Amino acid sequence: MALQFTDANFNDTALAGGVSVVDFWAEWCGPCRLIGPIVEDLAKEYDGKVKIGKVNVDENPEISMKYGIRSIPTILIFKDGQVVDKHVGTTTKATLADKINAQLN
- 49-95, pLDDT tens digit by residue? 999 999 999 999 999 999 999 999 999 999 999 999 999 999 999 99
Report whether 19 contacts 100 (CB < 8 A).
yes
Q: Range of 89's domain?
A: 3-104
Burial of 88 (0-12, 13-18, 19+ CB in 10 A): middle
Q: What is the CATH number of the domain that holds 42?
A: 3.40.30.10
* 44 noted as active-site residue: no
| The one catalytic residue among 3, 15, 16, 29 | 29
Number of structural domains, the chain?
1
* 97 noted as active-site residue: no
| The one catalytic residue among 32, 50, 57, 77 | 32
The mean pLDDT of the chain is 96
Q: Is 60 helix (H, G, I), strand (E, B) or coil?
A: coil
**Sign of the CA dihedral with 22 first, then 28, 31, and 37 last:** positive
Least Cα distance to 60 among 1, 99, 3, 103 occurs for 3
pTM (2 d.p.): 0.95
